[in-house]
């Protein structure tokens, strides 16, 4: 049954309310446009100064709209507002938020979305793989005859999905979004994995994991990773569905999936053989398990989903094939912005049985990089590092080499690959964020591609 959000703008609790919007990035602009349409009076705050005419043009609203632009600093007073809407890009520990951070009237765009939305939502979070899983899921739901909208941390802000008829809304949810949100009912909530990331924002791994766990608070059904206890519900071991890379012991549930040497299975049934997928790698098959588990939670048949998954080619910057120069293959995994993602990439490279030269480094975001030591020794012949926290790699072995930038790293990687006449892999999988030297991970990945083609020419 298709649902519609049409008409949800009619009765609004925000009409004539004076609301502060904190942060004017993509989410802040989406909130501003939506709340203006719902009759609110706004003061929008950011750490940098915006020109109102340019901002109005971006949001496609009139310059006469009832909002003012304000600078966010330590002296900002937010106590007089009816509501404070916090964007995920603004650290909730900012001094200006101290007096309102825990107020019930401090909300997020997802809280506003939940008040208006009438379409069943599926929420997916995790340290690694969530963009791939939600992209897969939208495709498999479409192949199953359902209209599925995709947004959240991936592409479209949740508020911008309101007013569009659909059977389901698929939301990629970051720890930043979950941490500041209070009410988000989900038909299915899924945590893929939790590894060290964003410790600089959440203060500790426990704080980061707690933010991820908030996805379960108002969920009807739950999907977890049996191989990662951090994804488990704290209160119970009874999950609606689960996945694993290893066949489970005990009773085999029709909602539990795993993979072995033959391929992806449910109970004893082989659903997808290794030979039938475009990129036959363990983490790709694991992502497929999550998608099928969500279909089962929604009581949807999986036959069309299986057909769609077998032709899935992946997203850019996620273990993306770039070029082949002689017997050297170049892979762009720039989205690997934490150690867990890098380890998964190294395991995939090992699965391909290729001699591996790794390019890594950047801003570690406070994460402990020591977990990389053993995988670097086991899987990597040479590791070339650059960026803000590159020095932290140097004690992990004599095969670690420091360079100044990405272009030097690619040039040196090609030289190292040429030392032996055997199939090799040059893998960009940084284990760190990109913002110390690049606009974002996409910019880093594109610059890697440009350097590869320059070297390969």
What dihedral do alpha carbons 73, 75, 80, 82 form, nearest 10°? Answer: 20
Q: Is residue 52 annotated as part of the catalytic site, yes or no?
A: no
Residue spans of alpha helices (H) in 251-361: 282-297, 303-310, 339-351
Any idea what the Cα angle at residue 247 is, between residues 347 and 346, rounded to 5°?
5
3 state DSSP class of 195: coil
Which of 41, 94, 198, 283 is flagged as catalytic?
198
Q: Is residue 198 annotated as part of the catalytic site, yes or no?
A: yes
**Any idea what DSSP says for residue 275?**
G
Q: 379 and 346 in contact (C-beta within 8 Å)?
A: yes
Which of 5, 117, 128, 153 is flagged as catalytic?
153
Which of 94, 130, 295, 365 is flagged as catalytic?
130
Q: 386 and 404 in contact (C-beta within 8 Å)?
A: yes
- 380: which 2 tokens? 């990597």
Q: DSSP per residue over 48-103, as a string? A: S---HHHHHHHHT--TTSSEEEEE--TT---TT-SEEEE-TTS-TT-GGGTTTTT-
- 7: which 2 tokens? 């008409």
Q: 202 and 208 in contact (C-beta within 8 Å)?
A: yes
Which residues, other chains included, contact 116 with Cβ-Cβ below 8 Å and sequence gap of 6+? Answer: 5, 8, 9, 162
Q: How far apart are CA 416 and CA 382, in angstroms?
A: 8
Q: How far apart are CA 334 and CA 432, in angstroms?
A: 9
**Residue whose entry in the numeric block shows the structure tokens 């899987």:** 379
Q: DSSP per residue over 101-112, as a string? A: TT-TTEE-HHHH
121 bridge partner residues:
169
- 170: which 2 tokens? 């698929």
Q: Is residue 416 annotated as part of the catalytic site, yes or no?
A: no
Q: How far apart are CA 93 and CA 115, in angstroms?
A: 26
Sheet holding 328-332, edge to edge: 320-325, 328-332, 424-428, 355-360, 382-385, 400-402
Q: How far apart are CA 224 and CA 208, in angstroms?
A: 17
Active site members? 130, 153, 198
């Amino acid at each position: 049954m298709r649902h519609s959000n049409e008409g949800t703008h009619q009765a609004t609790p925000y009409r004539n309310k004076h609301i502060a919007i904190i942060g004017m990035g993509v989410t802040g602009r989406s909130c501003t446009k939506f709340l203006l349409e719902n009759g609110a009076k706004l003061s929008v705050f950011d750490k940098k100064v915006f020109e109102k005419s340019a901002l109005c043009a971006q949001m496609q609203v009139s310059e006469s709209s009832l909002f003012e632009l304000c600078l966010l600093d330590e002296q900002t007073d937010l106590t007089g507002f009816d509501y404070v809407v916090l964007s995920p890009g603004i650290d909730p520990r900012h001094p200006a938020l101290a007096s309102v951070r825990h107020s019930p009237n401090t909300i997020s765009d997802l809280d506003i979305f939940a008040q208006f939305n009438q379409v069943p939502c599926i929420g997916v979070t995790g340290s690694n793989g969530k963009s791939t899983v939600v992209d897969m899921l939208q495709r498999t739901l479409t192949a199953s005859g359902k209209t599925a909208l995709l947004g959240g941390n991936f592409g479209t802000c949740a508020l911008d999905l309101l007013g569009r008829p659909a059977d389901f809304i698929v939301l990629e949810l970051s720890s930043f979004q979950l941490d500041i949100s209070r009410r988000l009912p989900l038909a299915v909530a899924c945590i893929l994995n939790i590894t060290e990331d964003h410790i600089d924002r959440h203060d500790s791994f426990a704080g980061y994991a707690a933010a991820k766990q908030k996805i379960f608070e108002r969920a009807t059904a739950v999907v977890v990773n049996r191989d990662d206890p951090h994804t488990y519900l704290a209160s119970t071991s009874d999950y609606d569905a689960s996945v694993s890379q290893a066949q489970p012991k005990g009773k085999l549930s029709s909602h539990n999936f795993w993979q072995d040497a033959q391929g992806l299975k449910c109970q004893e049934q082989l659903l997808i053989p290794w030979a039938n997928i475009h990129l036959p790698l363990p983490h790709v098959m694991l992502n497929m398990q999550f998608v099928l588990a969500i279909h089962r939670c929604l009581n949807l048949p999986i036959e069309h989903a299986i057909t769609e998954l077998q032709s899935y080619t992946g997203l850019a910057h996620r273990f993306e094939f770039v070029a082949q120069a002689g017997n050297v293959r170049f892979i762009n995994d720039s989205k690997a912005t934490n150690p867990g993602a890098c380890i998964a990439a190294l395991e995939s490279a090992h699965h391909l049985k290729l001699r591996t030269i790794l390019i890594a480094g950047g801003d570690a975001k406070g994460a402990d990089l020591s977990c990389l030591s053993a995988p670097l020794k086991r899987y990597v012949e040479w590791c070339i590092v650059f960026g803000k926290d590159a020095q932290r790699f140097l004690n992990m072995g004599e095969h670690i080499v420091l360079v100044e930038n990405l272009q030097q790293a690619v040039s040196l990687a090609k030289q190292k690959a040429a030392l032996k006449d055997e199939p090799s892999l040059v893998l960009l999988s940084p284990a760190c964020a990109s913002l110390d030297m690049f606009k974002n991970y996409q910019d880093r990945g594109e610059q890697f591609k440009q350097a590869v083609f320059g070297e390969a020419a």
